Chain A
Amino acid sequence: MTNPRETPKPLVLVVDDYQDAREMYAEYLEYSGFHVAEAKNGQEALDKAFELRPDIILMDLSLPVIDGWEATRRLKNDDRTRTIPVVALTGHAMTGQSDEAKGAGCDAFVTKPCLPDALVEEVRRVLALHGGAQSR
């Protein structure tokens, strides 16, 4: 399934306060050949993002401490993290949240429930779009 050493595994930062979902996605992403870092709130997400410089961030929008929108906004306003694509995740299927998320700087938007394979597919799609721009 993996092709090590040829291309380095991209680092995915999974941000979700709901542990089961976070670990599920993390397990499936690792299973699918990604490095995974986890954060359980917005502040932690920012800290990890500045520290680890992930290739992509999966950001749940409903987060404690600092919510996903605010965290995304800060990431997109910081030169260190500006180019990292952010895929927003939300359980609220209310119309308008996708627009708001994109306004905050999210590059893609995924509505939960989202099956792990569908999420991985989205991550790969977004990474492919940003492939040439990766600064690592």
Chain B
Amino acid sequence: MASPVALSPPTSTPDVEARLALAEQLLACDEPRQCAERVVAWLARQGQPEVVACLAREPGTGRLVCLAARGLSDAGRAALELPPDAATPPLAEVLQQAAPRFFAPPRTPLPGMGCLAVPLGREGASVVGLLLLSAPSAALPPDVAWVSTHFGPRLAALLPAAPRDWAGGELLRRTLDTVADPVLLTDLEGHPRIVNARAEVLLVAGPDASEGRRRATELNQQVFSAALASFASGVASGVRRREVPLVDPVEGIDLLFEVVSTPVVEPDGRELLVSVLRNVTDLGRATQALGESYRRLRATEREARSERHRLDRVLDSVPDPIILSDPSGGMVMMNGPAEKLFATHPDSGEAALRRLRSNNAAFSSFLANMLDAGGQPRWRGQLSLVDPATGATLPMEAVASKVLGDSGELTGIVTLFHDRSEALEKARLLERVKEGSIHLEARVQAATAELAEQNEMLRRQAIQVEQASAAKSQFLANMSHEFRTPLNAILGYTNMLLQGVSGELTPAQKRNLTRIDSNGRHLLEVINEILDITRIEAGRMPLNLSDFGLPELLQEVVAEVDPIIARSKLLVTTQLGPRVPAVYSDRQKVKQIVLNLLSNALKFTHEGTVEVRAEYVAATSTVTISVTDTGIGIAPAHQEKIFEDFQQVDSSPTRAYGGTGLGLSICRRLATMLGGRVTLQSIQGEGSTFTLHFPRRARRA
């Protein structure tokens, strides 16, 4: 059983020189094991005990480690180094109670001998080690007491602190663990001594932690250490604050902590830091957001300002006056043109001021009317303002619009003025233009009416002309009847007399009657031709189309002029070209044309031949009937003229040839009706060829 050690009174004066020597050695030494060696060696020399050993508590584990020993085997050392709570509870008791103790055999740490256990450490602080000496009794040798007093603090200073073995114990630790913020005690370099649960998560990786988590905690430790190191180099002392960005090893998200570090001095005099980390991540974000909002606010403000400037410029650029009033009618803002009408200037003259007051009064009255009118969002009115500079009247139209707030409350009134001088002038001009146009319209109507009247007149005239033409035709038809009726009698009686119906005639009577007969026939011919022209011109000679053959037609024509041929010395022949087909045309008219041409040929030919020839031109489906004579011929200058009405080559009163001069004119008109024409080839003195060309198949006009 161990018993407390009583300090024996000093029996002899201490060996001061030896103690000084040891103290010097210890001061020169800063390595615990070395110091322990020297202490053990010194004690062994001074007191001559059988066994001396110096043990130290290992930081962290609390295991006793033999720093130095004399008189002990390796096995004896090892036996001492067992954990105090397991094999050597007696030593643990010494460590806990921090008082020297004697262990008598057999229950002794040193097998077979009495043992003194002297705790080592700072006064009032935890024990860091033990001195073990073999001793016969519980009396503590003075040198041992001295060594323990001086070597204890030294050893405590040299030995690394035991973080886990920290005064305050488990309760304090649990208390710390409940703190939501990470709390840790570190040395100045940031090596942790005590960490609470939250700090452990951030800075310590367990042995079974994942690779990612380990790296995160390492990174955090580095950052944290760097932050603390900067503290050390920075402010000298006191509470220090700093923001440290760390990584949440579990979530992998960035966190921002405010580190508040407070230096504490350990009992052994070492400076440590208690750091409390406050998670300001959200705060940081909030701050950031706040900054962003502020920037935006500034930007918006700038924008608003520039918008305002822009608006000002826009308003000023509007030539019409614009006024912004507050809900009570006070002017808030006005553009340049409005200023000219409503704003007083220091240098305004008396007259100008009077006019400005008048304008303002007019405007106030206008606004008052508007506000009195109530709910209408717009108000329109006519204001008669005065130009302050000249005094000229300005007829204005004012349009006021209410500016409503978000909740519909009236926040202002914008009034826009529009100078109506121009509009009035325009209206006046428009009025004049309208008057002019009405006048013009009246004139147009009059002109139109006149035109219509003239049209009507023309129409009536056309009818009259038509009627006159019809009357002329009718007249000519009647006249021809009236001509013919007596002529019929003249020719008839002449014919009868010549036939001797009234008895035999003398040769002279017969000759004279023959002359009456011949002149009567000529007159009839003239009347017939005039009648033909009239009928053609009146459109009263229709086409009578039919199929007929040309040989028969030519025979008929020649037969009709047979009496004339018989009286002449001419050879008259008819020729038919190859493959002349039957034609479809107006037989009567073809016959009349050919007869006329043949009559002319006989009339103007004194000797030689007259040939009537019909041919067919397949390429153009045209039939030609030509009459060729060996007569007097026609000079080129007259070749066109002879087809005109009443024209003969010789139109003198003493001309050699009779006839109306209508024959070729009629031929030309009839040929046109058939869709054809009459052509002439002639050499004066040698003869002429008149040719009728007409389509084999006539088309109804």
Tell me whether B480 is interfacial, beta carbon within 8 Å: yes
Tell me whether A124 is interfacial, beta carbon within 8 Å: no
Q: How far, in whole Å, are A115 and B517 apart by their CA atoms in the complex?
A: 11
Encoded as 1 (CB less than 8 Å from any A CB) or 0, chain B from 469 to 488 comes to: 00000000100110011111
Q: List 11 A-B contacts (CB under 8 A).
A: A21-B492, A24-B492, A28-B492, A28-B496, A31-B496, A91-B485, A93-B528, A94-B535, A113-B491, A113-B492, A113-B524
Tell me whether A62 is interfacial, beta carbon within 8 Å: yes
Encoded as 1 (CB less than 8 Å from any A CB) or 0, chain B from 87 to 101 comes to: 000000000000000
Tell me whether A125 is interfacial, beta carbon within 8 Å: no
Q: How far, in whole Å, are A43 and B484 apart by their CA atoms in the complex?
A: 25
- Contact residues, B85-129 vs A (CB, 8 A): none
Q: How far, in whole Å, are A117 and B477 apart by their CA atoms in the complex?
A: 26
Shortest beta-carbon distance from B88 to chain A in Å: 170
Encoded as 1 (CB less than 8 Å from any B CB) or 0, chain A from 40 to 62 comes to: 00000000000000000000001
Does more than half of chain A's interface fall in helix, strand or loop, or is it mixed?
loop
Does more than half of chain B's interface fall in helix, strand or loop, or is it mixed?
helix
The 7 closest A-B pairs by CB, nearest first: A113-B488, A91-B481, A20-B489, A115-B495, A91-B484, A112-B488, A24-B492
- Contact residues, A3-27 vs B (CB, 8 A): 18, 20-21, 24-25, 27
Encoded as 1 (CB less than 8 Å from any A CB) or 0, chain B from 591 to 623 comes to: 000000000000000000000000000000000
Shortest beta-carbon distance from A22 to chain B in Å: 10
A94 engages B477 (CB within 8 Å): yes
Query: Tally of A-B residue pairs with Cβ under 8 A?
Result: 59
**A residues adjacent to B (C-beta < 8 A):** 18, 20-21, 24-25, 27-28, 31, 62, 91-96, 112-117
- In the assembled complex, which residues on chain A have CB atoms less than 8 Å from the CB atom of B528? 93
A28 engages B544 (CB within 8 Å): no
Q: How far, in whole Å, are A112 and B484 apart by their CA atoms in the complex?
A: 7
Q: How far, in whole Å, are A115 and B492 apart by their CA atoms in the complex?
A: 5
A62 engages B491 (CB within 8 Å): no
Shortest beta-carbon distance from B60 to chain A in Å: 153
B489 engages A116 (CB within 8 Å): no
Question: Closest A-chain residue to B517, C-beta based?
Answer: A115
Q: How far, in whole Å, are A114 and B662 apart by their CA atoms in the complex?
A: 23
**B residues adjacent to A (C-beta < 8 A):** 477, 480-481, 484-489, 491-493, 495-496, 499, 501, 524, 528, 531, 535, 540-542, 544, 588
Q: A28-B496, A91-B481 are in contact. List 11 more A-B contacts (CB 8 A).
A: A21-B488, A31-B501, A62-B481, A91-B488, A92-B480, A93-B480, A93-B528, A95-B541, A95-B542, A96-B542, A113-B491
A113 engages B477 (CB within 8 Å): no
Q: How far, in whole Å, are A20 and B491 apart by their CA atoms in the complex?
A: 12
- In the assembled complex, which residues on chain B have CB atoms less than 8 Å from the CB atom of A93? 480, 528, 531
Known: A95-B541, A95-B544, A115-B491. A27 touches B496 (CB 8 A): yes
Question: A94's contact among B492, B540, B544, by CB below 8 Å, is which?
Answer: B540
Question: Closest A-chain residue to B544, C-beta based?
Answer: A95
Shortest beta-carbon distance from B546 to chain A in Å: 13
Question: Closest B-chain residue to A28, C-beta based?
Answer: B496
Shortest beta-carbon distance from B483 to chain A in Å: 9
Q: How far, in whole Å, are A93 and B542 apart by their CA atoms in the complex?
A: 13
Q: How far, in whole Å, are A93 and B481 apart by their CA atoms in the complex?
A: 8
Q: Which of B484, B489, B491, B492 has the most CB of A within 10 A?
A: B492
B477 engages A28 (CB within 8 Å): no
Q: How far, in whole Å, are A24 and B486 apart by their CA atoms in the complex?
A: 12
A21 engages B540 (CB within 8 Å): no
Question: B487's contact among A25, A31, A113, A117, by CB below 8 Å, is which?
Answer: A113
B481 engages A92 (CB within 8 Å): yes
Shortest beta-carbon distance from B639 to chain A in Å: 31
Question: Closest A-chain residue to B540, C-beta based?
Answer: A94
B524 engages A116 (CB within 8 Å): no
Q: How far, in whole Å, are A113 and B493 apart by their CA atoms in the complex?
A: 12
- In the assembled complex, which residues on chain A have CB atoms less than 8 Å from the CB atom of B491? 113, 115
Question: Closest B-chain residue to A90, C-beta based?
Answer: B481
- In the assembled complex, which residues on chain B have CB atoms less than 8 Å from the CB atom of A114? 488, 492
A21 engages B485 (CB within 8 Å): yes
Shortest beta-carbon distance from B662 to chain A in Å: 15
Question: B484's contact among A28, A31, A113, A116, by CB below 8 Å, is which?
Answer: A113
- In the assembled complex, which residues on chain A have CB atoms less than 8 Å from the CB atom of B489? 18, 20-21, 24
A92 engages B477 (CB within 8 Å): yes
Shortest beta-carbon distance from B532 to chain A in Å: 9
B492 engages A25 (CB within 8 Å): yes
Question: Closest B-chain residue to A22, C-beta based?
Answer: B489
Shortest beta-carbon distance from B196 to chain A in Å: 142
Shortest beta-carbon distance from A111 to chain B in Å: 9
